Protein backbone atom coordinates (compact mmCIF):
# COMPACT_ATOMS: atom_id res chain seq x y z
CA UNK A 1 0.00 0.00 0.00
CA UNK A 2 1.43 3.37 -1.03
CA UNK A 3 1.22 6.38 1.26
CA UNK A 4 1.32 10.04 0.33
CA UNK A 5 4.82 11.27 1.17
CA UNK A 6 6.18 8.07 2.70
CA UNK A 7 6.11 4.34 2.02
CA UNK A 8 6.65 2.08 5.03
CA UNK A 9 8.93 -0.80 4.12
CA UNK A 10 7.62 -2.91 7.00
CA UNK A 11 4.45 -3.25 8.97
CA UNK A 12 4.24 -0.99 12.02
CA UNK A 13 2.32 -1.54 15.24
CA UNK A 14 -0.33 1.05 16.05
CA UNK A 15 -3.07 1.44 18.62
CA UNK A 16 -5.92 3.93 18.49
CA UNK A 17 -6.47 5.45 21.92
CA UNK A 18 -9.61 7.19 23.16
CA UNK A 19 -8.39 9.62 25.82
CA UNK A 20 -10.27 11.23 28.73
CA UNK A 21 -10.99 14.93 28.78
CA UNK A 22 -10.17 17.64 31.29
CA UNK A 23 -10.75 16.71 34.91
CA UNK A 24 -11.31 13.05 34.04
CA UNK A 25 -7.88 12.88 32.41
CA UNK A 26 -6.31 14.35 35.56
CA UNK A 27 -8.28 11.97 37.80
CA UNK A 28 -7.37 8.80 35.89
CA UNK A 29 -3.75 9.89 35.37
CA UNK A 30 -3.35 10.49 39.12
CA UNK A 31 -4.96 7.14 39.91
CA UNK A 32 -2.60 5.33 37.53
CA UNK A 33 0.41 7.21 38.89
CA UNK A 34 -0.50 6.32 42.48
CA UNK A 35 -1.14 2.63 41.73
CA UNK A 36 2.00 2.27 39.64
CA UNK A 37 4.11 3.97 42.30
CA UNK A 38 2.85 1.72 45.08
CA UNK A 39 3.05 -1.49 43.03
CA UNK A 40 6.25 -0.96 41.04
CA UNK A 41 4.46 -0.69 37.69
CA UNK A 42 5.44 1.47 34.70
CA UNK A 43 3.48 4.74 34.42
CA UNK A 44 1.40 5.30 31.29
CA UNK A 45 -1.25 7.66 30.02
CA UNK A 46 -4.95 6.88 30.62
CA UNK A 47 -6.76 5.57 27.55
CA UNK A 48 -9.29 3.14 26.14
CA UNK A 49 -7.95 1.15 23.19
CA UNK A 50 -10.49 1.42 20.37
CA UNK A 51 -8.50 -0.65 17.86
CA UNK A 52 -5.01 -2.12 17.52
CA UNK A 53 -2.97 -3.95 14.92
CA UNK A 54 -0.13 -3.75 12.38
CA UNK A 55 -0.45 -1.45 9.41
CA UNK A 56 1.85 -0.31 6.60
CA UNK A 57 0.36 3.07 5.66
CA UNK A 58 0.15 5.75 8.35
CA UNK A 59 -1.52 8.31 6.07
CA UNK A 60 -4.26 5.86 5.21
CA UNK A 61 -4.77 5.08 8.91
CA UNK A 62 -5.07 8.81 9.66
CA UNK A 63 -7.88 9.05 7.11
CA UNK A 64 -9.62 6.04 8.61
CA UNK A 65 -9.50 7.57 12.09
CA UNK A 66 -10.72 10.97 10.87
CA UNK A 67 -13.63 9.34 9.06
CA UNK A 68 -14.42 7.13 12.06
CA UNK A 69 -14.93 10.08 14.40
CA UNK A 70 -16.69 12.32 11.88
CA UNK A 71 -19.88 13.63 13.45
CA UNK A 72 -18.99 12.19 16.87
CA UNK A 73 -19.15 14.57 19.81
CA UNK A 74 -17.32 14.11 23.12
CA UNK A 75 -19.08 11.41 25.13
CA UNK A 76 -18.93 9.45 28.37
CA UNK A 77 -18.46 5.78 29.16
CA UNK A 78 -20.21 4.54 32.27
CA UNK A 79 -18.26 2.50 34.79
CA UNK A 80 -19.39 -1.05 35.45
CA UNK A 81 -16.68 -2.17 37.90
CA UNK A 82 -12.97 -2.35 38.66
CA UNK A 83 -11.60 -5.67 37.42
CA UNK A 84 -8.35 -7.56 37.19
CA UNK A 85 -6.77 -10.45 35.30
CA UNK A 86 -3.65 -12.54 34.90
CA UNK A 87 -2.75 -10.82 31.64
CA UNK A 88 -0.02 -8.19 32.06
CA UNK A 89 -1.90 -5.48 30.15
CA UNK A 90 -5.14 -6.18 32.02
CA UNK A 91 -3.72 -6.42 35.50
CA UNK A 92 -6.10 -3.84 36.96
CA UNK A 93 -8.65 -1.87 34.98
CA UNK A 94 -11.89 0.08 34.96
CA UNK A 95 -14.46 -1.88 32.97
CA UNK A 96 -17.10 0.14 31.14
CA UNK A 97 -20.62 -0.65 30.07
CA UNK A 98 -21.19 -1.35 26.39
CA UNK A 99 -21.67 1.95 24.56
CA UNK A 100 -23.16 2.50 21.11
CA UNK A 101 -20.98 5.53 20.30
CA UNK A 102 -17.75 3.73 21.11
CA UNK A 103 -18.95 0.67 19.20
CA UNK A 104 -19.71 2.86 16.18
CA UNK A 105 -16.16 4.30 16.18
CA UNK A 106 -14.68 0.81 16.50
CA UNK A 107 -16.78 -0.60 13.66
CA UNK A 108 -15.96 2.33 11.38
CA UNK A 109 -12.25 1.72 11.95
CA UNK A 110 -12.55 -2.04 11.57
CA UNK A 111 -14.32 -1.73 8.24
CA UNK A 112 -12.10 1.14 7.09
CA UNK A 113 -8.67 -0.50 7.42
CA UNK A 114 -7.40 -2.54 4.50
CA UNK A 115 -6.56 -5.60 6.57
CA UNK A 116 -8.60 -6.38 9.67
CA UNK A 117 -6.43 -7.20 12.68
CA UNK A 118 -9.04 -9.20 14.55
CA UNK A 119 -8.92 -6.81 17.52
CA UNK A 120 -11.99 -7.23 19.73
CA UNK A 121 -13.35 -4.22 21.56
CA UNK A 122 -13.71 -4.83 25.31
CA UNK A 123 -14.10 -1.31 26.74
CA UNK A 124 -11.74 -0.77 29.67
CA UNK A 125 -9.20 1.73 30.98
CA UNK A 126 -6.12 0.08 32.47
CA UNK A 127 -4.88 1.29 35.84
CA UNK A 128 -1.83 -0.94 36.30
CA UNK A 129 0.46 -3.18 34.24
CA UNK A 130 2.11 -5.83 36.41
CA UNK A 131 3.27 -9.45 36.60
CA UNK A 132 2.27 -9.73 40.27
CA UNK A 133 0.26 -12.79 41.39
CA UNK A 134 -3.44 -12.73 40.56
CA UNK A 135 -4.43 -12.83 44.24
CA UNK A 136 -2.63 -9.50 44.77
CA UNK A 137 -4.44 -7.99 41.79
CA UNK A 138 -7.76 -9.22 43.15
CA UNK A 139 -7.05 -7.57 46.50
CA UNK A 140 -6.20 -4.31 44.74
CA UNK A 141 -9.38 -4.44 42.66
CA UNK A 142 -11.48 -4.62 45.83
CA UNK A 143 -9.76 -1.55 47.29
CA UNK A 144 -10.00 0.71 44.24
CA UNK A 145 -13.39 2.45 44.21
CA UNK A 146 -13.85 5.18 41.55
CA UNK A 147 -15.35 8.39 42.90
CA UNK A 148 -17.48 8.90 39.77
CA UNK A 149 -19.93 6.90 37.72
CA UNK A 150 -18.45 7.62 34.31
CA UNK A 151 -15.46 8.99 32.40
CA UNK A 152 -15.77 11.66 29.70
CA UNK A 153 -13.69 11.39 26.50
CA UNK A 154 -12.93 13.96 23.82
CA UNK A 155 -10.00 12.74 21.68
CA UNK A 156 -8.84 9.79 19.59
CA UNK A 157 -5.17 9.40 18.65
CA UNK A 158 -2.80 7.03 16.88
CA UNK A 159 0.01 5.75 19.09
CA UNK A 160 2.98 3.49 18.28
CA UNK A 161 5.65 1.83 20.47
CA UNK A 162 9.04 3.16 19.36
CA UNK A 163 10.88 0.39 21.19
CA UNK A 164 10.55 -2.40 18.60
CA UNK A 165 11.98 -5.03 20.97
CA UNK A 166 9.95 -4.35 24.12
CA UNK A 167 6.88 -3.10 22.27
CA UNK A 168 4.04 -1.75 24.39
CA UNK A 169 5.74 -2.81 27.65
CA UNK A 170 8.11 0.15 27.31
CA UNK A 171 5.47 2.77 28.12
CA UNK A 172 8.07 5.53 28.15
CA UNK A 173 8.59 5.00 24.41
CA UNK A 174 4.97 5.32 23.35
CA UNK A 175 4.74 7.96 20.63
CA UNK A 176 1.63 9.84 19.53
CA UNK A 177 1.63 10.29 15.74
CA UNK A 178 -1.79 11.76 15.11
CA UNK A 179 -4.70 13.06 17.15
CA UNK A 180 -8.19 14.35 16.44
CA UNK A 181 -10.52 16.07 18.87
CA UNK A 182 -14.08 14.81 18.88
CA UNK A 183 -16.57 17.32 17.56
CA UNK A 184 -13.93 19.66 16.10
CA UNK A 185 -15.45 19.57 12.66
CA UNK A 186 -19.00 18.96 13.87
CA UNK A 187 -21.39 21.85 13.50
CA UNK A 188 -24.28 21.98 15.93
CA UNK A 189 -27.60 21.08 14.37
CA UNK A 190 -30.48 23.53 14.67
CA UNK A 191 -32.48 23.01 17.83
CA UNK A 192 -36.05 21.89 17.28
CA UNK A 193 -36.77 20.78 20.86
CA UNK A 194 -35.56 21.80 24.31
CA UNK A 195 -36.01 19.33 27.15
CA UNK A 196 -35.81 20.59 30.72
CA UNK A 197 -35.14 18.66 33.90
CA UNK A 198 -37.54 19.64 36.69
CA UNK A 199 -35.73 19.79 40.04
CA UNK A 200 -32.62 21.97 39.80
CA UNK A 201 -33.60 23.47 36.42
CA UNK A 202 -37.28 24.46 36.19
CA UNK A 203 -37.56 24.57 39.97
CA UNK A 204 -35.30 24.64 42.97
CA UNK A 205 -33.91 21.19 43.85
CA UNK A 206 -36.41 20.16 46.52
CA UNK A 207 -35.33 16.53 46.78
CA UNK A 208 -31.78 17.37 47.78
CA UNK A 209 -32.66 20.37 49.93
CA UNK A 210 -35.51 18.58 51.68
CA UNK A 211 -33.45 15.50 52.52
CA UNK A 212 -30.60 17.61 53.84
CA UNK A 213 -33.00 19.59 56.03
CA UNK A 214 -34.52 16.38 57.42
CA UNK A 215 -31.04 15.01 58.13
CA UNK A 216 -29.92 18.16 59.94
CA UNK A 217 -33.08 18.23 62.05
CA UNK A 218 -32.53 14.59 63.08
CA UNK A 219 -28.79 14.88 63.75
CA UNK A 220 -27.74 12.88 60.67
CA UNK A 221 -25.10 13.66 58.07
CA UNK A 222 -26.88 15.52 55.21
CA UNK A 223 -24.52 14.37 52.45
CA UNK A 224 -24.78 10.73 53.51
CA UNK A 225 -28.57 10.82 53.72
CA UNK A 226 -28.81 12.44 50.28
CA UNK A 227 -26.46 9.86 48.73
CA UNK A 228 -28.39 6.95 50.24
CA UNK A 229 -31.69 8.44 49.09
CA UNK A 230 -30.50 8.72 45.47
CA UNK A 231 -30.00 4.94 45.44
CA UNK A 232 -32.99 4.06 47.63
CA UNK A 233 -35.53 5.78 45.39
CA UNK A 234 -34.28 3.56 42.56
CA UNK A 235 -33.83 0.42 44.65
CA UNK A 236 -37.37 0.49 46.04
CA UNK A 237 -38.81 0.99 42.55
CA UNK A 238 -40.56 4.27 43.36
CA UNK A 239 -38.70 6.23 40.66
CA UNK A 240 -39.88 3.84 37.94
CA UNK A 241 -43.47 3.37 39.09
CA UNK A 242 -42.89 -0.09 40.57
CA UNK A 243 -42.86 1.08 44.18
CA UNK A 244 -44.64 3.65 46.31
CA UNK A 245 -44.01 6.53 48.66
CA UNK A 246 -44.42 4.45 51.83
CA UNK A 247 -41.95 1.88 50.55
CA UNK A 248 -39.36 4.56 49.83
CA UNK A 249 -39.53 6.02 53.32
CA UNK A 250 -39.49 2.55 54.86
CA UNK A 251 -36.23 1.85 53.05
CA UNK A 252 -34.85 5.22 54.14
CA UNK A 253 -35.71 4.46 57.78
CA UNK A 254 -33.92 1.13 57.49
CA UNK A 255 -30.82 2.54 55.77
CA UNK A 256 -30.39 5.87 57.56
CA UNK A 257 -32.41 5.82 60.80
CA UNK A 258 -34.67 8.65 59.64
CA UNK A 259 -37.98 8.81 61.52
CA UNK A 260 -41.28 10.56 60.93
CA UNK A 261 -44.63 10.16 59.22
CA UNK A 262 -44.69 9.70 55.45
CA UNK A 263 -46.73 12.85 54.78
CA UNK A 264 -44.45 14.94 56.97
CA UNK A 265 -41.25 13.67 55.39
CA UNK A 266 -42.53 14.05 51.84
CA UNK A 267 -43.86 17.49 52.70
CA UNK A 268 -40.37 18.66 53.62
CA UNK A 269 -39.27 17.77 50.09
CA UNK A 270 -42.29 18.95 48.11
CA UNK A 271 -42.45 22.41 49.67
CA UNK A 272 -38.88 23.06 48.57
CA UNK A 273 -39.66 22.52 44.87
CA UNK A 274 -40.20 26.20 44.00
CA UNK A 275 -40.69 27.10 40.33
CA UNK A 276 -38.30 29.57 38.71
CA UNK A 277 -40.49 32.19 36.95
CA UNK A 278 -37.76 33.47 34.61
CA UNK A 279 -36.98 29.97 33.37
CA UNK A 280 -40.69 29.38 32.72
CA UNK A 281 -40.78 32.64 30.79
CA UNK A 282 -37.94 31.33 28.62
CA UNK A 283 -39.99 28.16 28.04
CA UNK A 284 -42.90 30.27 26.86
CA UNK A 285 -40.68 32.30 24.55
CA UNK A 286 -39.19 29.18 22.96
CA UNK A 287 -42.58 27.56 22.52
CA UNK A 288 -44.02 30.72 20.97
CA UNK A 289 -41.17 30.61 18.46
CA UNK A 290 -42.03 27.11 17.31
CA UNK A 291 -39.61 25.13 19.50
CA UNK A 292 -40.94 21.93 21.07
CA UNK A 293 -40.65 22.17 24.85
CA UNK A 294 -40.70 19.18 27.17
CA UNK A 295 -39.90 18.00 30.68
CA UNK A 296 -37.80 14.91 31.35
CA UNK A 297 -37.64 14.25 35.07
CA UNK A 298 -36.50 11.43 37.33
CA UNK A 299 -39.55 11.90 39.49
CA UNK A 300 -42.19 9.84 41.20
CA UNK A 301 -45.92 10.57 41.36
CA UNK A 302 -44.76 13.67 43.22
CA UNK A 303 -44.42 15.42 39.84
CA UNK A 304 -48.15 15.15 39.14
CA UNK A 305 -48.83 16.28 42.71
CA UNK A 306 -46.58 19.31 42.16
CA UNK A 307 -48.42 20.14 38.93
CA UNK A 308 -51.76 20.09 40.75
CA UNK A 309 -50.23 22.65 43.10
CA UNK A 310 -48.38 24.85 40.56
CA UNK A 311 -50.02 24.11 37.15
CA UNK A 312 -46.84 24.04 35.05
CA UNK A 313 -47.53 21.05 32.75
CA UNK A 314 -49.60 23.35 30.53
CA UNK A 315 -46.43 25.29 29.63
CA UNK A 316 -44.96 22.27 27.83
CA UNK A 317 -45.75 20.22 24.74
CA UNK A 318 -44.75 16.96 26.41
CA UNK A 319 -44.01 15.77 29.96
CA UNK A 320 -41.85 12.67 30.36
CA UNK A 321 -41.60 11.32 33.90
CA UNK A 322 -39.62 8.25 34.94
CA UNK A 323 -42.55 7.14 37.14
CA UNK A 324 -44.73 6.84 34.03
CA UNK A 325 -42.01 5.64 31.64
CA UNK A 326 -40.85 2.76 33.83
CA UNK A 327 -37.19 3.82 33.57
CA UNK A 328 -35.01 6.67 34.75
CA UNK A 329 -32.02 8.61 33.46
CA UNK A 330 -29.64 5.99 34.78
CA UNK A 331 -30.74 4.04 31.71
CA UNK A 332 -29.24 5.97 28.73
CA UNK A 333 -31.88 4.37 26.50
CA UNK A 334 -34.42 6.78 27.97
CA UNK A 335 -32.99 9.49 25.70
CA UNK A 336 -33.52 7.32 22.64
CA UNK A 337 -37.14 6.82 23.72
CA UNK A 338 -37.74 10.56 24.13
CA UNK A 339 -36.19 11.42 20.78
CA UNK A 340 -38.34 8.78 19.09
CA UNK A 341 -41.46 10.12 20.80
CA UNK A 342 -40.70 13.63 19.57
CA UNK A 343 -40.19 12.39 16.01
CA UNK A 344 -36.95 14.31 15.36
CA UNK A 345 -33.24 13.48 15.39
CA UNK A 346 -31.12 13.39 18.55
CA UNK A 347 -28.93 16.20 17.19
CA UNK A 348 -31.96 18.50 17.06
CA UNK A 349 -32.67 18.11 20.79
CA UNK A 350 -31.17 20.29 23.51
CA UNK A 351 -31.32 18.71 26.98
CA UNK A 352 -30.77 20.69 30.21
CA UNK A 353 -30.03 19.01 33.56
CA UNK A 354 -28.29 19.90 36.81
CA UNK A 355 -26.49 16.55 37.14
CA UNK A 356 -23.26 16.12 35.11
CA UNK A 357 -23.78 12.37 34.69
CA UNK A 358 -27.18 12.94 33.06
CA UNK A 359 -25.72 15.55 30.73
CA UNK A 360 -23.00 13.08 29.77
CA UNK A 361 -25.54 10.33 29.10
CA UNK A 362 -27.56 12.63 26.86
CA UNK A 363 -24.47 13.65 24.91
CA UNK A 364 -23.53 10.01 24.58
CA UNK A 365 -26.87 9.46 22.83
CA UNK A 366 -26.19 12.31 20.39
CA UNK A 367 -28.23 15.06 22.04
CA UNK A 368 -26.96 18.56 22.59
CA UNK A 369 -26.83 19.24 26.32
CA UNK A 370 -26.22 21.97 28.89
CA UNK A 371 -25.25 21.50 32.52
CA UNK A 372 -27.33 23.81 34.70
CA UNK A 373 -25.24 25.11 37.60
CA UNK A 374 -27.77 27.73 38.66
CA UNK A 375 -30.62 29.88 37.36
CA UNK A 376 -28.49 32.87 36.37
CA UNK A 377 -25.94 30.74 34.54
CA UNK A 378 -28.68 28.81 32.74
CA UNK A 379 -30.30 32.00 31.46
CA UNK A 380 -26.92 33.25 30.25
CA UNK A 381 -26.23 29.94 28.48
CA UNK A 382 -29.60 29.96 26.74
CA UNK A 383 -29.00 33.55 25.75
CA UNK A 384 -25.61 32.95 24.12
CA UNK A 385 -26.31 29.63 22.40
CA UNK A 386 -24.82 29.54 18.93
CA UNK A 387 -27.60 27.29 17.64
CA UNK A 388 -30.49 28.83 15.73
CA UNK A 389 -33.84 28.81 17.47
CA UNK A 390 -35.64 29.22 14.14
CA UNK A 391 -36.32 32.90 14.65
CA UNK A 392 -36.85 32.85 18.40
Name the strands in the sheet holding 318-321, side by side, starting at the edge strand that comes first in the sequence. 318-321, 292-297, 193-196, 349-353, 368-371
Would you put residue 286 in left (φ > 0), alpha (ψ -120 to 50) or beta?
Answer: alpha
Per DSSP, which regions of 193-329 are E strands? 193-196, 292-297, 318-321
Tell which residue, 321, 308, 326, 318, has the closest CA to residue 349.
318
Residues linked to residue 13 through DSSP beta bridges, in sequence order: 54
Is 257 in contact with 220 (CB distance < 8 Å)? yes
Report the pLDDT value the prediction gives residue 107, as an integer from 0 to 100.
Answer: 94
**Global model pTM greater than 0.75:** no
| pLDDT tens for the chain, residues 1 to 392 | 333 334 334 678 899 999 998 889 999 999 999 999 999 999 999 999 999 999 888 888 988 998 899 889 999 999 999 999 999 999 999 999 999 999 999 999 999 987 888 899 999 999 999 999 999 999 999 999 998 899 999 999 999 998 888 889 999 889 888 888 887 644 345 788 999 999 999 999 999 999 999 999 999 999 999 999 999 999 999 999 999 999 999 999 999 999 999 999 999 999 999 999 999 999 998 888 888 999 999 999 999 999 999 999 999 999 999 999 999 998 988 999 998 898 888 888 999 999 888 988 888 888 888 888 888 888 887 775 533 454 44
In the three-class reduction of DSSP (H, G, I as helix; E, B as strand; rest coil), residue 68 is classed as: helix
Q: Which CATH superfamily is domain 12-181 in?
A: Cyclic phosphodiesterase (3.90.1140.10)
How far is it, in rounded angstroms, from Cα 360 to Cα 22? 14
Q: Given 3-state DSSP classes, what are the helix, strand and coil percentages for the chain, each rounded to the nearest 5?
A: 45, 20, 35
CA-to-CA distance for 306 and 156, rounded, in angstroms? Answer: 45
Q: Architecture of domain 193-204+274-384 in CATH?
A: 3-Layer(aba) Sandwich (3.40)
SS3 of 169, please? helix
Residue pair 269/300 in contact (Cβ under 8 Å)? The answer is no
Which pLDDT score, from 0 to 100, does residue 184 have? 61
Q: Pick from 179, 136, 159, 186: which is nearest to 35 by CA?
A: 136
Classify 59 as helix, strand or coil: helix
Amino acid sequence: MKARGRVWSTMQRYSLFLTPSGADFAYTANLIRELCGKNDGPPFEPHVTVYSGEFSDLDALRKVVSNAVSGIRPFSLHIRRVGCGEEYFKSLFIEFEEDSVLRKIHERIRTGVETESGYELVPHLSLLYSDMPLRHKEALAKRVVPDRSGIHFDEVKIVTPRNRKEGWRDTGQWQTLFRVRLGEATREASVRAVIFDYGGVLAEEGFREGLQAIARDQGLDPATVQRIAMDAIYDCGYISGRGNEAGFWAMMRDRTGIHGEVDTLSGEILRRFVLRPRVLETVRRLRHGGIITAILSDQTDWLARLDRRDHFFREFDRVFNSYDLGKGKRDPGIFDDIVAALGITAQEVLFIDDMPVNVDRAKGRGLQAILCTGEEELLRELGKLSVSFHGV
